[in-house]
Chains A and B, each alone.
Chain A
Amino acid sequence: MVEFGGFDMPLQYSTIREEHIAVRTRCGLFDLSHMGEVRFSGDRALDVVQSLVTNDVARLEVGGALYGLMCNEAGGIVDDVVVYREAGAYMVVINAACRPKDVAWMGEHSAECTFEDIGDSVALLAVQGPRAVELVSSMCPDDVAALRPFHCRDSQVAGVQASVSRTGYTGEDGFELYVDAADAPGLWDSLLEAGAAEGLIPCGLGARDTLRLEAGLRLYGQDMDDTTDPYSCALGWTVKLQKGDFIGKSVLVQLDPAHPPRRFAGIELQGRAIARHGQQVLADGEAAGVVTSGTYSFTLDHSIATASLFGDVPPDAELSVDIRGTTAAATVVPLPFYRRPKGA
């Protein structure tokens, strides 16, 4: 067990490799109750959320969700979030480690609406993998398989009232289930029992990290922080400058999205040694940036990493990573490292 954002969480239930492969080939169950949730309601809720996040929340219909960033006045990323439009409110999902900071920041900027930190009463379980949709559908009275990606609806799973969301952080299809905290242990047991025949196993933080990295998804605190602008971690697609004013926009408009201060790159390494957060990246032998995240890819069977490169590093530079004194050759590759097969 490890301490994470005030929660004691298992790094693994069996082994990271077993759990990783279960999610890629069958399905896995994650307890993500550490994630924070806040809710904005009232007539001005849309305006407040629009001012807080970079993406265009106005385009969401009820039941829709989107990924976005919350920036500070300097254009640095306070957190990466998922915004859900509910009937008459917006629920925003935040990182556990950022919760105190986010709640303070959001509270300061939500004078015009009702703002609540609902994280303690909301639990989150995720079922992810090629068999996840079929499994959850079989436990639901509603046609949740008809939900499109980044959409959610109220339903019941194994008799438990849940907001069923077609989202995840693994690169696989599946659902995230927002439930009342008191219902979570029962739902966990029901899912494990019903999922056993489908090969469902519980998965910890270790597999969550290897899965998200293969899928090219960012981890706040490693791949970005309060000093990183969205373009420098290749999240410019979440920045909608046309939508109106928002916090950080005045700085972001001055950046060239095609040539940000830092270039975020996926790299594949020769050999099996793992490049880790903070290790130095070299271009033709000179300092060129740092590794933001790295792991061994169980799907691809080699070492993968993401790096934050200095803006002036030439695209064709010969890269390497200094792994504890040993230099490992690295090749820039497009993200994501892994994309699930079509139709799976």
Chain B
Amino acid sequence: MADLSNYRFTASHEWVRVEGSKATLGITDHAQAQLGDVIFLELPAVGTEVKAGAKFGAIESVKAASDLYAPVSGTVSEVNAVLTDRPELVNSDPYGEGWMLRLDSASDDGGNLLDEAGYTKLVGA
């Protein structure tokens, strides 16, 4: 089990790890398990401004397509290009190699993020 002590979570099943003004984000293990085999990701380009709570992309599995919501605001500085050809990394390593975006100037506007215990309680794991 990954050490998630410095991860924060949304009720819409994204995670974020903030280090200073930089943030990395993806979707949770619970989310990937619910979606099943991830086939396709629609992610914003570098330079795009994302806003906490707003849609920033979409994820598709064989079962369903779901929107992705930003846990924090910021400017996209890096997109995980490996996921284009290997979206299954979101299934196999959602908190590591399955990361989706890195942001600069990250800020948590809403303060609605959950810690690991809060998220675990939310999904009833």
State the A residues within 8 Å of B (CB).
11-12, 15-17, 206, 210, 271-274, 276, 295-296, 303, 324, 326
Indicate if B31 sits at the interface (CB-CB under 8 A): no
Question: Contact flags (1/0) for B50-93 with A, using CB distance below 8 Å?
Answer: 00000000101011010000000000000000000001100100
Q: List residues of chain B with CB within 8 A of the CB of A210.
A: 62
Within B14-45, the residues touching A (CB, 8 Å) are: 36-37, 39-40, 42
Q: List residues of chain A with CB within 8 A of the CB of B87.
A: 272
State the B residues within 8 Å of A (CB).
36-37, 39-40, 42, 58, 60, 62-63, 65, 87-88, 91
Q: List residues of chain A with CB within 8 A of the CB of B40.
A: 271-274, 296, 303
Q: List residues of chain B with CB within 8 A of the CB of A206.
A: 36, 62-63
Q: List residues of chain A with CB within 8 A of the CB of B37.
A: 15-17, 296
How far apart are A15's CB and chain B's nearest CB, in angstroms?
5
In the assembled complex, 24 residue pairs joining A and B whose CB atoms fall closer than 8 Å, in A order, are A11-B36, A11-B63, A12-B36, A15-B36, A16-B37, A16-B62, A16-B63, A17-B37, A17-B62, A206-B62, A271-B40, A272-B40, A272-B60, A273-B40, A273-B42, A274-B40, A274-B62, A274-B65, A276-B65, A295-B62, A296-B62, A303-B40, A324-B58, A326-B42
> Which of the listed residues A11, A17, A303 has the most CB atoms from chain B within 10 Å of its own CB?
A17
How far apart are B57's CB and chain A's nearest CB, in angstroms?
11
How far apart are B100's CB and chain A's nearest CB, in angstroms?
15
How far apart are B49's CB and chain A's nearest CB, in angstroms?
20
Q: How far is the CA of A271 from the CA of B40 in the complex (A)?
A: 9
Q: List residues of chain A with CB within 8 A of the CB of B62.
A: 16-17, 206, 210, 274, 295-296
Q: List residues of chain B with CB within 8 A of the CB of A271.
A: 40
> Which of the listed residues B36, B58, B62, B87 has the most CB atoms from chain A within 10 Å of its own CB?
B62
Q: List residues of chain B with CB within 8 A of the CB of A303.
A: 39-40
Q: List residues of chain B with CB within 8 A of the CB of A17.
A: 37, 62, 88
Q: List residues of chain A with CB within 8 A of the CB of B58.
A: 324
Q: How far is the CA of A288 from the CA of B70 in the complex (A)?
A: 36
Q: How far is the CA of A295 from the CA of B39 in the complex (A)?
A: 10
Q: Which 6 A-B pairs have CB atoms at the shortest separation, nearest pair first?
A: A272-B40, A296-B39, A17-B37, A16-B62, A273-B40, A274-B60
B39 in contact with A272 (CB, 8 Å): yes
Q: How far is the CA of A273 from the CA of B65 in the complex (A)?
A: 9
Q: List residues of chain A with CB within 8 A of the CB of B60.
A: 272-274
How far apart are A17's CB and chain B's nearest CB, in angstroms?
4
How far apart are B56's CB and chain A's nearest CB, in angstroms?
14
Q: List residues of chain B with CB within 8 A of the CB of A11.
A: 36, 63
Q: List residues of chain B with CB within 8 A of the CB of A276.
A: 65
Q: How far is the CA of A206 from the CA of B58 in the complex (A)?
A: 21
Q: List residues of chain A with CB within 8 A of the CB of B36.
A: 11-12, 15-16, 206
Q: How far is the CA of A324 from the CA of B66 in the complex (A)?
A: 11
Q: How far is the CA of A284 from the CA of B23 in the complex (A)?
A: 42
Q: How far is the CA of A271 from the CA of B37 in the complex (A)?
A: 16
14 further A-B pairs in the complex, CB-CB below 8 A; given A206-B63, A274-B60 = A11-B63, A15-B37, A17-B88, A271-B40, A272-B40, A272-B60, A273-B40, A273-B42, A273-B60, A274-B39, A296-B62, A303-B39, A324-B58, A326-B42
Q: List residues of chain A with CB within 8 A of the CB of B39.
A: 272, 274, 296, 303
How far apart are A214's CB and chain B's nearest CB, in angstroms?
12
Which residue on chain B has the smallest CB distance to residue A276?
Answer: B65
Which residue on chain A has the smallest CB distance to residue B87?
Answer: A272
